[in-house]
Amino acid sequence: MKTFQNPGDIFKNKTVLITGGTGSFGKHFCRSLLTKCAPKAIRIYSRDELKQHEMRQEIDDARLRYFIGDVRDENRLRRAMEGADYVVHAAALKQVPACEYNPFEAVKTNIHGAQNVINAAIDSDVKKVIALSTDKAVNPVNLYGATKLCADKLFIQGNAYAGERDTRFSCVRYGNVIASRGSVIPLFLKQREKGVLTITDKRMTRFWITLDQAVNLIFKAFNYMQGGEIFIPKIPSMRIIDLAKAICPKCQIKTIGIRPGEKLHEALTGEDEARNTIEYKGIYVVLPSFSWWSRSNYKGAKALPDGFVYTSDKNELWMTVEELRTVVFGNSDRKGIFDTKPGLFTNSNNSKKYVSACNQP
């Protein structure tokens, strides 16, 4: 397997298709490819013509191609993937309440859509496909998590469906993305104008990751993958009450109760996955346990103990109130997320430990 000194070099002179390419991750990944990786072309595949128009105004580059299409449409996906080298599958219905209220639609997009991406990629001889997953797919209690768990299973087993073809499938799994569309931060910023912030439960914790770190994880996954793995970053946790204090320390905190399908804490690995999970170059990798998979990479990896779980409330890395405030509003040394894309965690020992692990090649 060919390895690259710079993980982004794998995309040099290659054609990359991004489903859901106009979303928060898709746009940031696109910018990273254009500025760091010298791709031949990037195909943005999404169903919203307005978002594509807005993205076209934001990013002026001749290497971008815009495809109107839905992941529910296998024929359109197959046409869009012709000649593509790599695919990043980011399209999904992601809002927990929306999926609970519209379960059939969630299944069509998140499960049937995953199946369509797999079939189209195999038929189009795409080399590698990575699907974005979520911590909500581990021991799911809501429909969104259940559909993403099913999608993960489909992508992993897609390697068996590929047969003698060279197409390989893997997943990345991470937590909430800071300042992404639908994030709680914009809600808190709006609520602070009235002096009252609403939280569902003061005990709640969440994994958080920046868009830069999510992109870096994708770069690593494309380089390491043999097909069938789930790649999980080491990321910090935060307490929702600490985020509220960081955004508006003088505001009244109103507890409104946990919503349907919501957990107090999230997990990035399940207990039953521990026997197949390794620690490798600063990330966790869940290896497939199927007869078709033969391990040739991950030399020097560390096996994890039976029963290992990686949960947001038992994490070693935590964001402090001050770090959360700096992420949102910035300080004298750097700007916050609503001005530019920042580096994250520059002060504490935990922060330095995290950055060091995340930046390993």
CA–CA separation, 87 vs 240, rounded Å?
Answer: 34
Residue listed under structure tokens 């600490």: 242
CA atoms within 13 A on the CB side of 123: 15
CA–CA separation, 41 vs 31, rounded Å?
Answer: 12
Nearest residue to 269 (alpha-carbon basis) of 261, 278, 260: 278
Give all strands of the β-sheet with 176-177 in edge-to-edge order: 176-177, 205-209, 237-239
Nearest residue to 254 (alpha-carbon basis) of 328, 299, 202: 202
| Strand partners of residue 267 | 311
Task: Specify whether 136 is catalytic.
Answer: yes
Q: Which listed residue (27, 94, 136, 263) is catalytic?
A: 136
Rounded alpha-carbon distances, angstroms, from residue 232 to 174, 247, 314: 6, 28, 16
Q: Are the CB atoms for 110 and 149 separated by under 8 Å?
A: no
* Tokens of residue 95, six digits: 């809002």
Catalytic (active-site) positions: 136
